[in-house]
Amino acid sequence: MMRRTPLVGRAAELRHLVEVLDGGAPAVVDLTGAAGIGKSRLLTELCARAADRGMTVLRGRAAEFERHIPFGVFTDAFTDLDAGPPDGPDAAAAAPVLYGVDAGGIGADAERFAVHRATGRLLTRLGRGGPGLLIALDDLHWADPASLELLDHLVRHPPRTPVIIAVARRDRQTSPSLTAALTRGVDTAAVLRLDLGPLPEEACVARLAPDLAPGLAPARAARLYAASEGNPLYFLTLLQGQAGAAVPDGGLAALLLDELTPLTTAQRRTAEAVAVLGDQATAPLLALTAAVPDMARLDADLAALARRDLLRPGPGDSWSLRHPVLRTVIHENTEHRRRTGMHRRAAEALAGAGASAAVRAHHVERALAARWDPDLAAVLLDAAEQSATTAPASCAHWLEVVLRVLPDTPGNAVRRRELRLRRARALSVCGALRESRDLLHEVIAEVPEGDDGGVRAAAVTLCASMERHLGHYPAAVSLLRRELSRTPAPGPADAVALGLELGSSAPHASAYPTVRADVQRTFELARTLGNEPAAATALAIAALGEAYEGNLASAREFTDRAGARVDALTDRDLADLCEPLARLGWAEFYLERYTDAERHADRGLAIARRSGPLHLLPHLLLCKAIVHMTTCRLGSALELTDEAESIARGIGSDELLALVLSNKAQVLIAALPPGDRTSLTVAEEAVAATGPRTSWWASLAWCVLSYAALHGGDPRRARSAMLRAGGGPDLAALQPSMRPLFLEALVTAAVADGDLPAAEAWAARARRDADLLDLPAQRAAALRGEGQVLVGRGDAAGAARRFVQAAEEAGRSGATLWEALSLLFGASLTADAAAAAPLWEQGHRLAAAGGAGLLTGLADLVRPPTPEPPTASATAPDPASASPAAGSARAPVSTAASPARAAVPPASGPTGGPGFPALTRREQQIAALVAEGLTTPVIAARLRLSPRTVDTHLSHIFHKTGVTSRSALAALTARSTPR
C-alpha cells in the first residue's frame, strides 16, 4: 500500500494559505487546476493547519454523480460538526443546507434566498467566540446549482466573524456562473485565487520518488515525470505501476483499472458499490447495494481494499475511494446493467433508512433510465416538489428526467403537458429564460384549443413573460392578443392572467395608451372575480404606465389605489405577484415619493428572495438603488446595482443586462470622482446590449450614455446620444415624466459646444414640460438648464439665482443629490464669498455624507476663497461640467475651467490614521504602490489583477480619500504613514 504522499513543491501556495489562517488575506480561497494537480492535497494541508490552530473545520466534497442534490456539498460539510448541528431560528431556516432538502420533513417550506441569509448568519454564529471556522469544499466544479448560488451569496456577503471558505475546483469544468462569481471576488479582493500548475521535476524525482518508491533509479523517475507532465496524480500512478512509457489518451484510466485486476469478484463488486453510493457508502448500505448478505465477508473485503489503498475509511463508518478520479473510472467502467441494479438497490436502501426523495433522486435517475417505472418516477416528482423553492434548477432537472422516460402515448398526453409546464416554471424561477420560453412554445403548440384545464392560457402567459424579459416585446404582445381573441374565449380567470401580462408587455412595444383600455377591463374582471392580488396588479400597471407618460393626475390616482390595495394584502397573497411591487415602486419614484418607493421595493425584495423568480430581483434592486442614489446614499446604491448585475449576467437576457448597466452607470457617475471614466465604459456596454431595439430601456441606455459622455468631456457625443435616445429632434421617445432632466443634458452639451440658440430652445422646452409635470425635482432640472444658458451668456449672478432656486426645489422633494449639485453650482457662481460659503458648506456636507464622489470632487474645485470673493469668471464651472441624468449626478468638472489646486481630504473624510482605515486591504495595497510611483500596468502585474480592476480600485480610493490625482494620493499616503 502506498503511504499518504508528503506535500512538496507548494511552498509559495502554502505561504499564502498560512496568511489566510492568520487573518491577513481574504476570507475566500479559490484553488484551481487540472484533475490530479494536487488541489485536494493542498486543501487537506490547510484543514490540518486550521485544526492545529483550534479552528472548527468542516469539509465537504461535491460528487460527479450527485450534482443535482440541492446544497449537497454544504450538507456534506456540516456533517463534520462534532457537537451536531446548532439550534435556533437560523438553523431551522438553513435546514436544507444542514440536513438536505426536506430531510425528515425539515425545511420543506424553505425558500432559497432566505436559506442563503440564514446560512450566512449561522456561519457568523459558528465562527464567533473562538479561533474561527474553516469550510473546505472540494471538487466544486461538480457542485449542484443551489450550492453555487449559496456560495455566490457568501462571497458577496461574507460572514463578519473569522470564517474562511476554501474551495477547490477544476477551472475548465467550472460553470460560467461560478467562475464569474469567484472572479468578481478576486477583482474586489474578497477572494484569493491560487492556480496550481505542474510540480517541479526536483520535487517529484528527488523527493517523492525516493520516499514512495525506494530504489527506483533517478533516470527512470525522470522518465516517469516527463510522462506525467508534472501532474502529481499521474506521476504517482505511474510510480505505483512502475511503467516507463508515456501515458496516451485514456491511459490513466487503464492504469487505474489495472489496480482492480488482482481483486476477487466480490472485492470488485464492493469497490463498484462504493463508487455508486459515494458519500453514503456505509457498511449497511454497501451490503444492500452490492447484494452481499454476509456482513463478515463484506468487512473482510473492505479491509482488503483498504490495504491496497483503494478505499479509505471516513467518519461515521463510511468508506470512500482513494480519489474522485478513481471513483469516476470505476463507476463508468462498471457493466451497465449491474450498475443500474446497484443504483436501484441503493435507492431502496436509502428509502429504508429514511432518506429524503432528493437524496435518493440521483440513484433513482440512473435506475429509471433503464425502463419506465411509475414508483421510481414518483420519487423524482417528490424530489422536484421539495426543491421547487430552494433549488429550482434541481427541480427542473428531475422533471426533465421523468419526461425523458415517460411513455409518449395518448394516455400520457395531459400529464406530459402538465409536467412540461411545471418544468418551464422551474426554469423561469432559476433564470433559464430562453430554455423556459422554448419549452413553453412546444407546450402551446401541442395543447388543443378548448377545455385544457387552463394549461394553454398558463403556458401562453408564462411564455409571453419570458419573451418580455428577453426583450422580445412584439412577440409577447402578439402571443397574448392572439390568445385573448381565440374561440372559444379563455375563461375569466385565464383572461385576467393574460390581460395582466398584456398590460406589462405592450408598453414596451408601444405607448401605454394603446393598452390602457385592456388594463382597465382586466381590473374590472379581477374585481368581479374577487381576485384582490390581480386587481392590485392591474392598478400598479396603470400607475406605472400613466407615470411614465407624464399623466400625473391619473398616475397619482392609480398609485394611491394600488398602494392601498397592495398594503392590505399579505405577503402570501403576493407570493406569485412580487412584480407589481416593482411597478408600484417605480411609479412612486417617478412621482418623487421616494419613501413609499423604497418601502414597496423592500417588500418586493423580501418576497422575491423567498420565492420569486430570479429575473424579477434586478427590477426591485434597481428601484431601491435609484431611490438611494437620488436621496444621496451612494454606497448602498452601488451595492444594490452590483447584486443586480451579478443576477442579470447569469440569466442571459441582453435587455435585462442593458437595464441593469444603464442604472449602474448612473450610480457610478455620481459615486466616482471627477475624471473617472468607468461610468462611460459601463454605459457603452449597456448600449451595446440593447442592439438596434427601441424600447423604454433602450432609450434609457442611450440617455445614460449621453450623461456619461458629458461627464467625460465630450459634449458632441453627449448631444448625439441624447438625440438618438429621443428618436430624433422632436425627442418624442424620451420618457415624458423625466424629460426636463434629459433636456438639461442637451442644454449643457449645447452650451459647452457654443450653440446658445439650441440651448435656449431646449431650456424653454424643459421649463414648459416641468410646469406641466409640477414635480419639484423636474422643475429643479429646468432651472439648472436655464442657469446653464445664463452661464453661456456670461450672466453669473442670474445663473447663481437659478441654481439656488433649483436647490430649494430639489430639497422640497427629498432629492438630496440634486440639492447638493445645485448648491455647489450656485456657490461657484456667487460673487460674494460670504454668501457663497453657506451654499458651498451645505452642498459639501450633503455630498460627503452621501458618498457622492463626483460632488465632493466638484466641491474641492469650487470652494469659495477666503481672502477675497472670486470673480464670476474665475469660479464659474465649465458648462460641460454639470449634466444631471435621470437618477444620477451629472456634474463632471473640467479642471481647465476651474481653479487648479491640490485636492486634500475634507476634515470629515475617511483619513485620520496610518493606512487609511476606511480603505479595504486591497485599496491600501494599491495606494501604497501608487505612492511608490508605480504605474497601473505594473501594479496590475504585481497584484495579479487586470489594469481595469486597478483603475476601478483607484476610483474608489479617490472617492474615499477626497483626492483627485495620483500625485495628491501619493502625498497623502506619505503624510499618513507613521515614521
Can you give the C-alpha Rg of the chain in angstroms? Answer: 32
Q: Which residues of 851-881 are buried (b: 16+ CB within 10 A; e: fewer)?
A: bbbbbbbbbbbbbbeeeebbebeebbbbbbb
pLDDT recorded at residue 25: 65
For residue 204, what pLDDT is reported?
Answer: 87
CB 207 within 8 A of CB 176: no
Distance CA 719, CA 704 (A): 11
Q: How far is CA 695 from the centre of its chain?
A: 25
CB 399 within 8 A of CB 412: no
The closest alpha carbon to 746, from 779, 783, 707, 708, belongs to: 707
Residue 618 CA, chain-centre distance (Å), reads 9
Half-sphere exposure of 880 (CA within 13 A, CB side): 25
Task: Label each residue of 851-871 as H, E or C.
Answer: CCHHHHHHHHHHCCCCCCCCC
Q: Are strands 319-321 and 311-313 parallel, antiparallel or unpaired?
A: antiparallel
C-alpha cell at 435: 430554455
Residue 313: strand, helix, or coil: strand
List Cα–Cα distances, 669 to 672, 710, 903, in angstroms: 6, 10, 19
Output the pLDDT for position 46: 93
> Which grid cell sits at 540?
400598479
Which residue type is seen at 280? Q
Residue 494 CA to residue 943 CA, distance in Å, equals 58
Q: What is the mean pLDDT of each run of 10 residues along the chain (979 residues)?
A: 66 89 82 88 92 90 81 86 69 73 41 77 82 91 87 82 90 81 80 90 86 84 84 78 47 71 92 91 92 92 90 86 82 91 94 88 86 90 86 90 91 92 90 91 84 82 92 92 90 94 88 94 96 95 95 96 94 80 95 97 88 83 97 94 84 85 95 89 92 80 93 90 91 92 94 92 96 96 96 92 97 96 94 92 96 92 65 41 38 27 24 46 83 78 77 74 63 55
Alpha-carbon distance of 395 to 401, in angstroms, equals 10
Amino acid 387: pLDDT: 84
Q: Give residues with Cβ within 8 angstroms of 540, minimum separation 6.
A: 558, 562, 566, 580, 581, 583, 584, 587
Of all helices (H) and strands (E), which one includes residue 109?
none
As a three-state string, the secondary structure of 29-70 is EEEECCCCCCHHHHHHHHHHHHHHCCCEEEEEECCHHHCCCC
* C-alpha distance from residue 894 to each of 715, 748, 804, 897 (Å): 12, 13, 21, 6
**What residue type is assigned to position 830 of the chain?**
T
Determine contact, residues 726/734, Cβ cutoff 8 Å: yes
Contact (CB, 8 A) for 142 and 67: yes
Cell of 851: 458618498
CA distance to 139, 189, 271, 274, 897, per residue, from 15 (Å)? 22, 18, 37, 36, 51
Provide the pLDDT for residue 228.
79
Please identify which residue in the block is written with the cell numbers 482513494.
322
Whole-number Å distance between alpha carbons of 499 and 573: 19
Q: Residue 936 has what pLDDT?
A: 80
From 273, 266, 337, 267, select the one nearest 305 (Cα to Cα): 267
Close Cβ partners of 447 (under 8 Å, ≥ 6 residues apart): 417, 455, 456, 459
Query: Quick one: pLDDT at residue 801?
Result: 96
Residue 758: is it exposed, middle or buried by C-beta count within 10 angstroms (0-12/13-18/19+)? middle
pLDDT at res. 965? 59
Question: How many of the other CB atoms lie within 10 Å of CB of 4?
Answer: 10
Decide: 864 and 836 in contact? Cβ < 8 Å: yes
Cβ count within 10 A of residue 664: 29
Written as one letter, the residue type at 605 is: L
Report how far apart, in Å, the C-alpha atoms of 172 and of each of 13, 143, 182, 527, 836 are: 20, 14, 14, 54, 60
What type of residue is 365?
A: E
User: Which cell numbers hold the place of 663?
Assistant: 442604472
In terms of Cβ atoms closer than 10 Å to its own Cβ (0-12, 13-18, 19+), residue 772 is middle
